[in-house]
């Protein structure tokens, strides 16, 4: 009889009740984790993470080229990534994404040379102001050219915003407006400290 008592396990798992509690607890943890993982995989956060991981060249910290410095391929890749991120937030269809990508790409390619010239304005003005003789006519010409280009950029951007807005539903535009305001609020909060 004493042999039979010694064969019974001692400790916490020694009783059937404790084994049942341990089994149920483990099952609940596994099921809870699976449900939580499924919910996370359906979230917009996960979709953004997956999209970011898919772009190998999407270095968020180091590659900040100006539009004028990008190749057409780089411009297209950045626009596609941007549109896909926005599409997640507003539940845009693939057809809408294609339309918006085409519109934004056309505008970016149109503005690329203007952005380069606008960026070079500071150096042009500096060179004119540092010359032995100040050429007021040349300064005025640079100012007038850049003002005309700024007008063209402004008109092109407003037209592009209207074109993109027409692709989206009123509900999608409202969600996009909310996201833009949230982004602005985060930026203001970040710069206050």
Read off the pLDDT of residues 41-51 as tens digits, 9 standing for 90 and up: 554 554 555 45
N-to-C CA span, the chain: 76
Domain boundaries, the chain: 62-192
CA–CA distance from 52 to each of 64, 82, 190 (Å)? 16, 10, 23
Half-sphere exposure of 118 (CA within 13 A, CB side): 17
Read off the pLDDT of residues 140-163 as tens digits, 9 standing for 90 and up: 998 898 888 888 888 988 999 999
pTM, whole model, 2 decimals?
0.58
Q: Say what the pLDDT of residue 114 is.
A: 79
Read off the pLDDT of residues 53-77 as tens digits, 9 standing for 90 and up: 544 544 444 456 666 677 888 888 8
Q: Say what the pLDDT of residue 40 is.
A: 55
CA–CA distance from 127 to each of 122, 134, 146 (Å)? 9, 10, 16
Distance (Å, whole) CA 76 – CA 189: 31
């Amino acid at each position: 009889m004493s042999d039979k008592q010694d064969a019974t396990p001692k400790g916490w798992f020694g009783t059937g009740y404790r084994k049942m509690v341990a089994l149920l607890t483990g099952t609940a943890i596994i099921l809870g984790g699976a449900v939580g993982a499924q919910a996370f995989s359906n979230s917009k956060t996960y979709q953004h993470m997956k999209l970011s991981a898919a772009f190998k060249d999407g270095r968020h910290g180091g590659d900040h080229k100006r539009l004028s410095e990008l190749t057409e391929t780089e411009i297209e890749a950045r626009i596609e990534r941007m549109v896909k991120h926005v599409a997640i937030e507003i539940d845009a269809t693939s057809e809408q994404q294609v339309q918006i990508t085409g519109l934004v790409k056309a505008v970016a390619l149109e503005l690329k040379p203007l952005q380069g010239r606008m960026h070079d304005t500071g150096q042009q003005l500096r060179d004119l102001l540092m010359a032995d003789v100040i050429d007021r006519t040349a300064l005025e010409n640079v100012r007038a050219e850049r003002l005309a280009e700024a007008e063209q950029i402004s008109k092109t951007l407003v037209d592009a915003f209207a074109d993109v807005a027409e692709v989206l539903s009123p509900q999608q535009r409202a969600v996009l407006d909310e996201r833009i305001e949230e982004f602005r609020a985060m930026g203001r909060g970040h710069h206050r400290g």
